[in-house]
Structure 1
Amino acid sequence: MFELIGNIAAVLTTAAFFPQVIRTWKTKSTDDMSWSWLLMLTIGVFLWLIYGISNSLLPVTAANGVTFLCLSVLVYIKTSNFLARR
């Protein structure tokens, strides 16, 4: 039962990033995202990914792998916007 709860939580928290990534990709606007939030969350998710891999925890690895990819897209767009303004 608790594994099911964990799997549902992993799917929901990972899928929660999709609307933001899609919106950011379409609008190319990252003005409302702070660098500190984006970088801290990206690093934290990456560490969770390493933790999941090192402990062979598939739900943790899968959820954080997908979330890390989503955050990487956001970092890429934010970086591109930053460099374009210089």
Structure 2
Amino acid sequence: MNYIEIIGFSAATLTTAAFLPQVYKTWKTKDVSGLSLPMLVMFFVGIFLWLVYGIYIKSPSMISANTITIVSAFLLMYFKMKYEKR
């Protein structure tokens, strides 16, 4: 593994880990009032495209981070639709 991938894994760990508390808090409180569904959908599509790009350039750091983040974004979209007060 070269030093560029080490930097990539460090960035991936920090940015992915920063997103996980929001998923946990939303799951525990079921409060989705602060979440915007259009933003979550755009974020999900953007992360999906980053994942495709990471696969294309064969970057393990991008593939692992975006795989985890896409699951997190999907969970937040699911929570938003499930717990939204109608």
TM-score (norm 2): 0.88
**1:34 matches 2:63:** no
Q: How many residues align?
A: 84
* 1:24 CA displacement: 0.4
Secondary structure of 2:32's counterpart equals coil
RMSD between aligned alpha carbons? Answer: 1.3
Q: Which amino acid aligns with 1:3?
A: E
Q: For the residues of structure 2 that align with 1:75 and 1:53, how far apart are their CA atoms?
A: 24
Return 5+ residue gaps in structure 2 as ranges.
none
Runs of 4+ in structure 1 deviating by more than 6 angstroms, as ranges, are: none
TM-score (norm 1): 0.88
Return 5+ residue gaps in structure 1 as ranges.
none
> Partner of 1:8 in structure 2?
10
* 1:34 CA displacement: 1.1
> Partner of 1:52 in structure 2?
54
> Partner of 1:74 in structure 2?
76
